[in-house]
Structure 1
Amino acid sequence: MKIFARFGATVCLLSLLVCLAVTPLLGQGQLTQTLRGHVVDKESKFPLVGATVQLADKGVLTDTAGLFRLTGIPVGRHTVKVTLVGYKEMVLADVSLDAGREKILDIELEEEIRQLVAVTVQAQRTGEARNEMAVVSARQFSVEETNRYAGSRGEPARMASNFAGVQGADDSRNDIVIRGNSPQGVLWRVDGVSIPSPNHFAIAGTSGGPVSIINNRYLANSDFFTGAFPAEFGNTVAGAFDLKLRNGNNERHEKMVQFGFLGTEAMVEGPLSKSSKASYLATYRYANLWLFNKIGIDIGTQAVPTYQDGFFRFNFPLRNRRGESVGALALWALGGTSTVDILISEQEVKDRNIFGNNDRDQYYTARMGAAGLTYTRPLSPQTFWKATLAVSGNSQDANHNYLFLRRDGDRNPLVVNNRYVIDSLRPILDYRFSEMKYSLATFVNHKISARATLKVGLNTDLYRFRAFDSVRSFTDLSYTRFTPWRTRWNTNETFALVQPYVSFRHRLTENLTLTAGLNALWFTLNTRSVAPVEPRVGLSWELPARQKLSLAAGLHSQIQPLYTYFYAENPGSGSAAGPLANRTMGLTKSWHYVASYQRLLGRSIRLLLETYYQRLFNIPVEQAQSSFSMVNTGAAFSRIFPGPLVNTGTGRNYGLELTVEKFFSNHYYFLLTGSVFDAKYTGSDGVLRNTDFNGRYAFNALFSKEFVFRRSSLNLGFKYTTTGGRWYGPVDEAASRLNQEIIYQSASRNTLQFAPYKRFDLKVDYKMNRGAADRRGLTHTISVDLVNILGIQNLLSLSYAPQPDGSFIKQEYQLGFLPIFLYRVDF
C-alpha cells in the first residue's frame, strides 16, 4: 500500500506540474536574455582576439580582452559555435538560457598543430576533463549535470557515484568507493589546494559525510579522476575531485532564494565596480531537519541534525598603467558547522540510529572551513601562472554518556511504554580533534609550441594537529564497574607535506598525444614517508571513425589519516597518552595501469570501455597477526583503534568498466554504466580476503527527458542502481559484549556478504520563466527528488543494541523512501 501511495502522490504531482506548464500566458511577449563570456587559449589562458562566437543567425567577434556579448537571445536552449583561424573549432550544444540569470561562458580553444586557413569542425566532447594532462579515467562535470541526476541531491560526490567504477558506500553518507579502494583515498581540491572533507558531520579519517558543504551553485565546470592521475595530483591512491570556483556576474546584480528539505538558502552576486569589472558572489544555507520527523520521514535517526554553511568569492581583475589586463586576484572562503545530539535515553526501543551507538547519549559537533587568495596571470601568449595561498581546518567535538538500564531478575533490560527504564547516565567518552592547514599551490604552464606544453608546480601544506581523547570501559561483563579514564590521544604537533611536480604534453602527430610527468612527496612527520620519484605516463591515439585508444600508468602514494599516527599503544591515565606506536608509519603506495577505448556513435552518443589493474603495497596492517588493513577504513561514523601498525599489507584491484552515454540533445539524455571488478587484500596474517568494498559489480541506468512549453519546461529523470553487497563476518560475541560494539572474528573476516543493494529514484523539475520582454525576468524552479521510491530495504551493517530478550546484534538498514523537494527563485 505504501508503494501505491507513493506512486499516487507522484502522479498527482506530475499532473499538477503539467497543468501549470500548459497554462496559457496571455499578454506576454518573448523573453530574452544575454549570453556573454571569455575566450582564451587552453594552455596559456591568454585572451584570444577576433574569435567568432555564433548562435543561430547572430554572431560577434571577441575583443582585445577575449570578451564577447550576444544580447536579445530568446530563453531556452541554443547551440554556440566558436571559431578562430589556427584553432580547433568548438561547438557547445544545448546551452540553456533562463530569464532570471545571464549566461556567462568561459571557453578554452586548443591550437591546431598545422596552421591552416580553415580548420575542421570538432564539437566539444561533453564529459572530457578540462585538465589537458589527463588521458584516461577522467571526467568533467558541470553544475547542470549535478542537477540533472536523480538521487544526487545536487552533490558532486553523489553525482559521481553514477560513473563507471564508482559506487556509494551507503545511503546515509556520500563517501564514494572508486574501483574497490577505501573512500578515505579520495582527494578534494578547491582552486588547486587540498581541503579537508567538505561535509557536515564529518569524522576524522573519512572523506565523506551525510550532507555536503559544497554548493553546486558556485562551482564552475570541474574534473573528477578515478585512476592514473596526472602528476599534479599527489597524496591519493583512489580518486580526486578538482573543483573550480566561478566568479560572480561582473555586470549586473543577481539573486537566488531557495527553500527545501535540505535547507533554506540564499545567493547574491554582482559587480563591485562596473568600471574595474570586480565582482562578488556569496551564499548561505541553514537547515533544521525537524520537518522530517514531523511528517514521519525516516532519516536513520530520531535525533534532529542542524547545520549551516556559506561561501563567498570576490574577484578583482588587475590592469597595468596602459589599461591592459594582467590577471586577476580572487579572495574566497567556504565552510560549515553541524551539530547533532542523539539521545537514546529519550527514544523508544524501536527507534533507529544508524549514525551512532544504541547504548549511550551522544553529543557531536563538527566544523570545516577553507579560505584562500588566488592570483592568476597570463605572463605572455605562451605562459600562464597561477598561485593560491590558503588556510583550512576541521574539528570534531564529541561527548558520550553511557546508559545504565534497570534490569529484571534475568538481567534483561526493563521496558515501560516502549522505552528503556534508565537507572543512571555516566560519562564514558570525551574527545576533541582539530586540524589546521596552511597551503600554497602554484604552477606555471608554458606552451612551448603548438605541439608541446610544459607544466611545473608545487603543492605545500603545513599542518598543525591537535587531539585529545579520554575514554573508560567496563572491567567485565557485569557492566557495573568502569576502568579508570584512559587517554588515547593527547597531541599538539606541527609537520609539513611537500609535493613538487612536472608534467609534459606533446602532440606527436595530429592524432597521437603523449603525456609524461613526475611527482615527489615528502611528509616531514617521519623519515619513512618520502616518495622521491613517482612517474606518470599516458598515450592517446585518435583513430578513424571518431574512435580513440588511450593507455596510462603511474605510481601513486598517500599519507595515512592524521589521527592514526598519534594513537597511544598503551593508553595512559590522566593526561598521559602513552607511547605512539604508529608514528613511524610510511606511505601507502599503488601502481595504476589503465587502458581505454572510446567511440562516438552518431552525433551525441559515446561508448567508453576501460579496463584497469591496481597493485597496492605498503598498506598499514597490525604488527600482530590479524585481518586488519587500512584499506577497509574510511566509510563509517566511527574512528579506528588499531594496535601497532606496519606497512607490510598488500592489495590488488582489477576490473572492466562500460559507459554508454547520450549527451543532452533533442531534449533528452541517458547514461548507462556497468562495472565488474575484484578487490582483495592481505593483512598481517597473510590471508587473501575480499575488501569490505568488493561488491564485484555495479550497474546504473539514468534517463532524463525535457518537455518544453513556451516559457516553461518540465524535466523527468529516472535512475536505477544495483551493486553487490558489503562483506562482513561472524561476530565475536564475547569481545562485542565487553567492548559494547560489534567486533568480528578476525580469522573469518569478510567471508559473508549482505544481499545486493538496489534502488530506484525519480526526479521531477519544473522551471518557469516569467516577466515582460522589456524588463528583467524571474525563473521559478520546483524540484522533487524521490529517493528509493519503492522503499527497498537494503542491509547496511550490524550494530550493538541490547534488546529486552538479551540479544545485542541488530541489523541496520539503509535509508528508506526519502522525498526531497525544493522551490527556487532566480531574479
Structure 2
Amino acid sequence: MVDKETKAVLIGVTVMVSDMAPAPGTATNDRGEFSLDSIPVGKHDITLSYMGYEGRTLRDVLVTSAKEVILPLEMEERVVKMNDVVVTRKREHINDMALASTRTFDVQETERYAGSRSDPARMSSNFAGAQGGDDSRNDIVIRGNSPQGVLWRMEGVDIPNPNHFNIPGTTGGPVSMLNSKLLANSDLFMGAFPAEYGDAVAGVFDVRLRNGNNKKYEFTGQLGLLGTEALAEGPISRKAGSSFLVNYRYSTLQIFQGLGIKVGTTSIPQYQDASFKLNFPMGKKGDLSFFGLGGLSRIDLIVSTLTEPEPQLYGESDRDQYFKAGSGVVGGTYGITLNDKNYMKFTIAQSASNVWALHTKVFRNASFAVDSMKDVLGYDFNVASTVAHWYINKKISPRQTLKYGIVNKYYSVSFLDSSRQYPTSRQDWQLRENYKGGTDLVQAYIQYKLRPSEVMTLTGGLHAQYLTHNGSKALEPRAGMRWAASGKDIVTAGYGLHSQVQPLYQYFAHLPQDPPGIMQNYNVDFTRSHHFVAGYERILGPHLRLRTEAYGQYLYNVPIERRIGSSYSGLNQGSTFSRNFPDTMQNTGTGYNYGIEATLEKTFSKGFYLLLTGSAFDSKAAGNDGVYRNTDYNTQYAVNLLLGYEKKIGKYSTLTTGAKATTIGGKLYSPVDVAASNALGDIVVVDSQRNSLRFAPYYRVDLKLGIRINAKRLTHEIAVDLVNVANTKNILSLTYSSDLAAQGVAYPFYTQYQLGFLPIFYYRLDL
C-alpha cells in the first residue's frame, strides 16, 4: 500500500473483507503489505481505511482455490477531513492527471466479455467511442480517427505495434501479443489526454504489467484454439519480496484445419510470443523491475494451388504471399521515493521490429488454370528504437501535485522496397525505398494538478516534441476539470492539442523515377489535432451508473498530396494489410470529428453485470480538392450490449455465461473505374467520389459459456466463446479480381465477407 503521488509506503492501513460477517481484517506492515488468509472462494468486497486518506472499497474481487489474489494498491490523501467515499476499482483512473475521456481497462471485468478472444484491443472496442467492426483485425478506431493515431505504451515507455502480422504504419493486427493474464489495470485515453503523452492524435493505450506473486509459486496452463500457453510466477527471494512472472504462447490454429472450420484463409498462421516481468523491491523506498514482450509470426498465403476462386479474408486472390514479422521490447525501470514530497522514476527500453514479404503474381487463363507466375513485390523493413522516460512526481501539498519529465526516442531504420506489380505487364522493378539511417523524437512535459476542494479537481500542462531529421516541432497545451457536483453527479471537461509523426517509412521513400537520395516527403510536418470534451456522469446506485460525453476534434496540418484534384488524406490510412506510398505531400489538409457517447453500466454484483454503450458521430477529411468527404472510419454509429451472469454450483464451482450484441454503421467504399482497374490490374476508384457509398450495417451476436471448478489447490476453467453465433454475413470490402477479368467478366469485382460462425474453446488450469 503506497501514497498515490509519492509512492511512499503506508503503514497501518486497515484492510477488511466488508461483505462477510464478521468481517475479517488486518493492517499493512512496515513494507505496506498485508495478507488475509482463509477467505472463501468467490467474489468479495475489500475496504481500506487510513487516517488522513480517502477510504476505498474494491468491489467483487475474485478469490479462487489455486491462486493468491495480489492487489497493488494506492491511496490518495484527503484535501479536508470528511467521510470515506466508496470508489470501485475499475473506475479509478490509473493516471491521476486524467479527468476526462478515459476508461480504466479492468482485466478481471473485461475478461468476461464474450467474443473478445482474450485480446485487450478487442476488449476495449466495447467501450463507448472505441469500436472495431473488422473481424480480420483488432484495430482500435477511436471517435472516427484512424487507428494509426493510437499510441501503445507499456510500463511508461512507447512500444512498437504489439500485434502479430503487423504492417508498418499500423497499430493493430489479427492476433495480439499482449496476454491479459499478465496485465494490471491499465488506462485507455480517448481524447484530451494528459501532457505526459505525445506522438498521438487519436488515443493512448497505457498498459501496465502486474508483479508476480512474491510469496508462493503458481502456474497456469491453457489449451485453446487461439493458443497453447504456460505462465509461471513466484518469489525470487521471499525475504526481499522480489518476484518473477513469465509467459509463453504458441499458435494452435492448425486444429481448425482438422475440424474443417474455415477462418477466411487457406493457410494456417504461425505465431509465438513471450512476456515477462521481474520485480526487485529496493528497501522501503525504491523498486527495480525488468520487463519484456516479443513475438514472431509468419504465414504463406498460397492461392496458386486453388482450382476455383475462393475468397481470402487475409490475403489477395491473385498472388501467393510470403510474410514474416517479428517485434519485441525489453526494458528496465527504477522508481524511488526521494522524500515525503518527491517520487522519481526512470525507464529505459530497447525495441525492434522487422517485416519481410514477397508477393508472387499468379496469371491464370479463362478456365482458371495457372499460365505463369512472377515475383511482383518484395520488401524488408527494420526499425530499432531506444526510448527513455524520466519523471519526477512532486506533492506540493495535499491540494497540489506537479509532474514533469522527458521522453527521448531514437529510431534506427533500414527500409528496402521494390515493386513491379502495376500494371501487371510491367517487367522492370521500381525501387521505392532504399534507406538506412536514424532520427530522434525528443519530448518534454509538465503537468499540474490542483484540488481546490474535495469535489473539484483541475489539471493543466504543456507537452513539447521535436523530430530531429526534419526539424518538426510542437508545443501543446492540455487542461482538464472534474467536479463532483453532488454525491451522485460528476461533470468533466478537457482540452488538448496533440501532434503525431507520420509513418517512418513514408519520410524516407522516394518516387520510382528519382534516386533514393531524393525523398519527396522527408520534410513533412506533424499531423495536429485540437480535442474538446465535456462529460456528465450520474451514479444511479451502488453498482449502476450512466455516463455521457460529447466531443469535437479539429485536425489540421494533415498530409495530403500536392496533385491537383486529389482526394487523398493521411487520415484514411493505418487499418489495412498494405503500406501506403503517396505522391509528394504537403501539410495543408484538414478534418474534423464530433459526436456524443453514452454508457450505462451495472458493475458485477449479485452474479450479474451489464454494459450498454452507444456512440453517434461524424468524421470528415478534405484532400487537395478542398472537398470534405467521409473518412474511411465514418460508420456514424456503434452500439454494444454486453450481459453476463455467474452462478455458484455447489460449494466450489461457478457457472459463467456472457452475451454480446454489436451493431455498427456500414463500412464506406467508393465507385470503381472498371476500365482503369483492368488496365492497372488492381482496383481503381473514382477519386472525386471517394467514400460516397456504404455497405450494409455490421451486426454480430456472440455467446460465452464456461465453468470454473475450485478443487483443492487447483482451479479448472473450461469455456467456449461462440463468435458470430448467427453466422451473419458482414461485408468487409469490394475487391478487384484479375481472374474474373481474365475470364472477360464485365464487372471483375467480388464482395469480400468477414468471419462467419467461429467457436473458440479453451481449458485453463491454475495451481
Q: Same fold (TM over 0.5)?
A: yes
Q: Aligned residue for 2:695?
A: 754
Q: Aligned residue for 2:27?
A: 61
Please give the per-residue CA displacement for 1:117-146, whole angstroms capped at 9, x wherever unaligned: xx3342336333111101111011122123
Q: Aligned residue for 2:615?
A: 675
Q: Which of 716, 735, 741 is the equivalent residue of 2:676?
A: 735
> What does 1:286-685 align with in structure 2 at a 5 Å threshold?
286-319=250-283, 325-405=284-364, 407=365, 413-414=366-367, 420-473=368-421, 479=424, 481-527=425-471, 529-531=472-474, 533-571=475-513, 576-577=515-516, 579-625=518-564, 626-685=566-625
The amino acid that maps onto 1:356 is G
* SS in structure 2 at match of 1:67: coil
The amino acid that maps onto 1:603 is P
Q: CA deviation at 1:783?
A: 1.3
Separation in structure 2 between the aligned mates of residue 295 and residue 739 of structure 1, nearest angstrom: 40
The number of aligned residues is: 757
Separation in structure 1 between the aligned mates of residue 719 and residue 154 of structure 2, nearest angstrom: 28
| Structure 2: runs of 5+ lacking an equivalent | none
Q: Say whether 1:787 aligns with 2:723.
A: yes
* SS in structure 2 at match of 1:170: coil
Separation in structure 1 between the aligned mates of residue 144 and residue 534 of structure 2, nearest angstrom: 18
The amino acid that maps onto 1:502 is I
Separation in structure 2 between the aligned mates of residue 714 and residue 743 of structure 1, nearest angstrom: 52
Q: Aligned residue for 1:151?
A: 115
Distance 1:815 1:87, change over 3 A: same
Q: Say whether 1:207 aligns with 2:171.
A: yes
* SS in structure 1 at match of 2:571: helix
Contact 2:8 2:285 (C-alpha < 8 Å) held by counterparts: no
Q: CA deviation at 1:421?
A: 1.4
> What does 1:808-823 align with in structure 2 at a 5 Å threshold?
808-823=748-763
Q: CA deviation at 1:808?
A: 2.5
Contact 2:104 2:186 (C-alpha < 8 Å) held by counterparts: yes
Separation in structure 1 between the aligned mates of residue 525 and residue 721 of structure 2, nearest angstrom: 44
Separation in structure 1 between the aligned mates of residue 59 and residue 221 of structure 2, nearest angstrom: 28
Please give the per-residue CA displacement for 1:566-604, whole angstroms capped at 9, x wherever unaligned: 2212346xxx53621111100000000000000110111
Separation in structure 2 between the aligned mates of residue 486 and residue 280 of structure 1, nearest angstrom: 50
Q: CA deviation at 1:169?
A: 4.5
Q: Which of 13, 25, 29 is the equivalent residue of 1:51?
A: 13
The amino acid that maps onto 2:698 is Y
Separation in structure 1 between the aligned mates of residue 274 and residue 701 of structure 2, nearest angstrom: 31
Q: Which of 220, 225, 230 is the equivalent residue of 1:256?
A: 220
Higher deviation after alignment, 223-232 or 39-48: 39-48
Q: CA deviation at 1:161?
A: 0.6
Q: CA deviation at 1:805?
A: 4.9
Separation in structure 1 between the aligned mates of residue 554 and residue 724 of structure 2, nearest angstrom: 36
Please give the per-residue CA displacement for 1:473-513, whole angstroms capped at 9, x wherever unaligned: 355xxx5x433111101011111001100100000112111
Contact 2:58 2:89 (C-alpha < 8 Å) held by counterparts: no
Please give the per-residue CA displacement for 1:392-423, whole angstroms capped at 9, x wherever unaligned: 11111001111122x3xxxxx22xxxxx3112
Contact 2:431 2:512 (C-alpha < 8 Å) held by counterparts: no
RMSD value, Cα: 1.3
Q: CA deviation at 1:212?
A: 0.1
* SS in structure 2 at match of 1:104: coil
Q: CA deviation at 1:431?
A: 0.6
Contact 2:361 2:373 (C-alpha < 8 Å) held by counterparts: yes
Q: Which of 736, 744, 747 is the equivalent residue of 1:800?
A: 736
Q: CA deviation at 1:638?
A: 0.6
> What does 1:11-30 align with in structure 2 at a 5 Å threshold?
none
* SS in structure 1 at match of 2:121: helix
Please give the per-residue CA displacement for 1:256-295, whole angstroms capped at 9, x wherever unaligned: 1100000110011111122222211111001042221222
Contact 2:111 2:118 (C-alpha < 8 Å) held by counterparts: yes
The amino acid that maps onto 1:706 is E
Separation in structure 1 between the aligned mates of residue 462 and residue 92 of structure 2, nearest angstrom: 23
Q: Which of 612, 636, 657 is the equivalent residue of 1:716?
A: 657
Q: Aligned residue for 1:42?
A: 4
Q: CA deviation at 1:787?
A: 0.7
Identity of aligned residues (%): 46
Separation in structure 2 between the aligned mates of residue 256 and residue 622 of structure 1, nearest angstrom: 52
Contact 1:285 1:309 (C-alpha < 8 Å) held by counterparts: yes
Q: CA deviation at 1:382?
A: 2.1
Contact 1:287 1:307 (C-alpha < 8 Å) held by counterparts: yes
Contact 2:654 2:709 (C-alpha < 8 Å) held by counterparts: yes
Q: CA deviation at 1:543?
A: 1.1
The amino acid that maps onto 1:267 is L
Separation in structure 1 between the aligned mates of residue 660 and residue 765 of structure 2, nearest angstrom: 26
Q: Say whether 1:196 aligns with 2:184.
A: no
> What does 1:254-293 align with in structure 2 at a 5 Å threshold?
254-293=218-257
Contact 1:610 1:657 (C-alpha < 8 Å) held by counterparts: yes
The amino acid that maps onto 1:182 is S
The amino acid that maps onto 1:759 is R
Distance 1:327 1:125, change over 3 A: closer
Contact 1:293 1:302 (C-alpha < 8 Å) held by counterparts: no
Q: CA deviation at 1:562?
A: 0.8
* SS in structure 2 at match of 1:386: strand
Contact 2:59 2:89 (C-alpha < 8 Å) held by counterparts: no
Separation in structure 1 between the aligned mates of residue 663 and residue 223 of structure 2, nearest angstrom: 31
Please give the per-residue CA displacement for 1:154-177, whole angstroms capped at 9, x wherever unaligned: 111101111111110511100011
Contact 1:471 1:487 (C-alpha < 8 Å) held by counterparts: yes
> What does 1:214-229 align with in structure 2 at a 5 Å threshold?
214-229=178-193
* SS in structure 2 at match of 1:293: helix
The amino acid that maps onto 1:497 is L
The amino acid that maps onto 1:780 is H
Q: Which of 102, 114, 139 is the equivalent residue of 2:103?
A: 139
Separation in structure 2 between the aligned mates of residue 588 and residue 446 of structure 1, nearest angstrom: 32
The amino acid that maps onto 1:785 is D
> What does 1:91-130 align with in structure 2 at a 5 Å threshold?
91-115=57-81, 119-124=83-88, 126-130=90-94
Contact 1:570 1:578 (C-alpha < 8 Å) held by counterparts: no
Contact 2:133 2:698 (C-alpha < 8 Å) held by counterparts: no
Separation in structure 2 between the aligned mates of residue 743 and residue 251 of structure 1, nearest angstrom: 62
Q: Aligned residue for 2:206?
A: 242
The amino acid that maps onto 1:627 is S
Separation in structure 1 between the aligned mates of residue 251 and residue 9 of structure 2, nearest angstrom: 42
Q: TM-score, normalised by structure 2?
A: 0.97
Distance 1:102 1:422, change over 3 A: same
Please give the per-residue CA displacement for 1:57-108, whole angstroms capped at 9, x wherever unaligned: 2111111111111111111111111000111110111111011100011111
Contact 2:9 2:285 (C-alpha < 8 Å) held by counterparts: no
* SS in structure 2 at match of 1:402: strand
The amino acid that maps onto 2:572 is N
> What does 1:152-191 align with in structure 2 at a 5 Å threshold?
152-191=116-155
* SS in structure 2 at match of 1:163: coil
Separation in structure 2 between the aligned mates of residue 700 and residue 645 of structure 1, nearest angstrom: 38
Q: Say whether 1:699 aligns with 2:626.
A: no
